[in-house]
């Protein structure tokens, strides 16, 4: 018998704990940078901005948790097209740190690729849930899925932002698999993507220096990129319980981006293995609740949506931590809910809001 479930309060608690930990670590890892640079208004510059993002993130979470999914579903195509237009618009703006990843609005930098990543999951869940979708027919990969995924991936790669490309392509392939796509078709898609990456890196030269540095580091760890070496050293210096909150040394101009891409290393130095364990358990708790919510769905669209959002968050987490540990080349990808930045935090919170929305849907059994 169908019954109404309660909202997944544990998921909300886990995400709130991650945001709290992230906010504390953003201030701790960025205060020295902000205090030493005259363009920032004091040591709390990044903290103040992050608190604004946190407030907006909770608003986005609450809205996506409360709005009926049927209403959201009717806006998927316009939202997908809008996100693609924003990906084009970034190339007509002034570059920030040599890249075209952000749109500057009211003094804040917004990253359209984060919006497209979320909209792609909605689009795939919506389209793949149609009864007429027979994924045994390879023509469905030729249209509509192949062009939509490829267009977004190419635009983001040109920004350049390899990390987001890896997340969205991996997410798309796994969602297609869950929707019933043939393994042989997916292997062909992976092969084609791998060939495209090879051409871009080793023939065109896209991000080749990062790949060359990574390959060299496999034979000689001292040949690893500067930021990776500093990240590993900061993790090693943390020991079991860390050097103390706010007492980290590597954030003071040794470790690049200690409050964004490499905040996991900052946590390791200041809070030690104990702090990293707490962070990892919270991140695993997030993925666990997402999986439980997905498996509780009886509707194909809702199952694919919950699965896609969980996969997207999980892949993002894995890639960021793998970069910090020197397991893959650097990608410039933030750690959801922990790193400084508004676009990632707001979009990730909106994704969690949708999961909360799905958790209170009607199903045969409670989560």
In this predicted model, what pLDDT tens digit does every residue of 251-268 receive, in sequence order?
887 888 899 999 999 999
Phi then psi dihedrals of residue 181, to 5 deg = -65, 145
Q: How far does the chain reach from its first CA to its final CA, in angstroms? A: 15
**Contact between 231 and 265 (Cβ < 8 Å):** yes
Tell me the C-alpha distance between 323 and 332, whole Å. Answer: 9
The pLDDT-based confidence of 1 (bands split at 50, 70, 90) is very low
Residue 108 pairs in a beta bridge with 105
Least confident of 34-38, 228-232, 260-264: 34-38
**182, burial (CB in 10 Å: exposed 0-12, middle 13-18, buried 19+):** middle
Amino acid 277: pLDDT: 97
Tell me the C-alpha distance between 65 and 62, whole Å. Answer: 5
**How many percent of the chain have pLDDT more than 70?**
93
Tell me the C-alpha distance between 108 and 100, whole Å. Answer: 14
The pLDDT-based confidence of 3 (bands split at 50, 70, 90) is low
Asked if pLDDT for residue 272 goes beyond 90, the answer is yes
Q: What is the DSSP letter of 210?
A: H
- 0.75 cut: is pTM over it? yes
Average pLDDT over residues 353-366: 74
Q: Which of 365, 322, 320, 362 is nearest to 344 (CA)?
A: 320
Q: What is the DSSP string of 9-76?
A: HHHHHHHHHHHHHHHHHHHHHHHHHHHH-TTS-STTHHHHHHHHHHHHHHHHHHHHHHS-HHHHHTTH
Asked if pLDDT for residue 13 goes beyond 50, the answer is yes
**Contact between 250 and 268 (Cβ < 8 Å):** no
Residue 104 pairs in a beta bridge with 109
Asked if pLDDT for residue 301 goes beyond 70, the answer is yes
**Contact between 69 and 358 (Cβ < 8 Å):** yes
Q: What is the DSSP letter of 3?
A: E
Amino acid 15: pLDDT: 98
Domain count of the fold of the chain? 1
Amino acid 139: pLDDT: 72
| Other Cβ atoms closer than 10 A to 211 | 17
Domain with 165 in it: 3-363
**pLDDT tens digit sequence for 44-96:** 999 999 999 999 999 999 999 999 998 889 999 999 999 999 999 999 988 87
Least confident of 216-230, 294-308, 314-328: 216-230
Asked if pLDDT for residue 231 goes beyond 60, the answer is yes
Better-predicted residue by pLDDT, 301 or 131: 301
Amino acid 280: pLDDT: 98
Amino acid 366: pLDDT: 34
Please give the radius of gyration of the chain, using alpha carbons only, rounded to the nearest integer: 21
**pLDDT tens digit sequence for 162-186:** 889 999 999 999 999 999 888 888 8
Tell me the C-alpha distance between 136 and 26, whole Å. Answer: 47
The conformational region for residue 340 under phi > 0 = left, psi -120 to 50 = alpha, else beta, is beta
Asked if pLDDT for residue 161 goes beyond 90, the answer is no
Q: Which of 272, 293, 267 is nearest to 351 (CA)?
A: 293
In the three-class reduction of DSSP (H, G, I as helix; E, B as strand; rest coil), residue 205 is classed as coil
* Cα dihedral 165→170→171→172 (10° resolution): 90
Amino acid 2: pLDDT: 45
Least confident of 14-28, 125-139, 175-189, 336-350: 125-139
Cis geometry, peptide bond prior to residue 160 (ω within 30 degrees of 0): yes
**Contact between 164 and 113 (Cβ < 8 Å):** yes
Chain-wide mean pLDDT for the chain?
Answer: 88
Tell me the C-alpha distance between 291 and 310, whole Å. Answer: 7
Amino acid 292: pLDDT: 96
Amino acid 130: pLDDT: 84
């Amino acid at each position: 018998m169908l019954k109404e479930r309660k909202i997944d309060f544990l998921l909300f608690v886990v995400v709130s704990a991650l945001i709290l930990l992230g906010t504390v670590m953003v201030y701790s890892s960025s205060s020295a940078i902000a205090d030493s640079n005259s363009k920032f208004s004091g040591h709390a510059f990044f903290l103040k901005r992050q608190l604004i993002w946190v407030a907006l993130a909770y608003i986005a979470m609450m809205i996506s948790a409360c709005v009926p999914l049927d209403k959201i579903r009717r806006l998927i195509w316009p939202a997908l097209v809008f996100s693609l237009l924003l990906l084009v618009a970034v190339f007509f703006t002034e570059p920030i740190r040599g890249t075209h990843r952000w749109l500057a609005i009211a003094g804040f930098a917004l990253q359209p690729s984060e919006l497209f990543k979320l909209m792609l999951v909605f689009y795939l869940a919506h389209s793949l849930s149609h009864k007429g979708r027979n994924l045994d027919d390879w023509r469905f990969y030729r249209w509509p899925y192949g062009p939509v995924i490829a267009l977004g991936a190419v635009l983001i790669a040109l920004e350049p932002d390899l990390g987001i490309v890896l997340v969205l392509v991996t997410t798309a392939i796994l969602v297609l698999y869950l929707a019933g796509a043939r393994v042989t078709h997916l292997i062909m898609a992976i092969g084609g993507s791998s060939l495209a990456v090879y051409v871009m890196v080793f023939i065109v030269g896209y991000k080749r220096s990062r790949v060359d540095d990574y390959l060299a580091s496999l034979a000689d760890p001292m040949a690893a990129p500067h930021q990776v070496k500093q990240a590993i050293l900061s993790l090693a210096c943390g020991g079991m319980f860390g050097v103390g909150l706010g007492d980290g040394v590597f954030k003071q101009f040794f470790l690049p981006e200690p409050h964004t891409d490499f905040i996991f290393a900052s946590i390791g130095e200041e809070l030690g293995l104990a702090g990293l364990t707490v962070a990892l358990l919270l991140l695993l708790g997030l993925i666990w609740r997402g999986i439980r919510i997905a498996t509780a769905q009886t509707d194909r669209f809702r199952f694919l949506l919950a699965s896609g959002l969980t996969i997207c968050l999980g892949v993002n987490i894995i890639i960021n931590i793998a970069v910090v540990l020197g397991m893959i080349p650097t990608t410039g990808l933030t750690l959801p809910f922990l790193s400084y930045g508004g676009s990632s935090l707001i979009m990730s919170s909106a994704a969690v809001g949708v999961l909360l929305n799905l958790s209170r849907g009607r199903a045969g059994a409670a989560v």
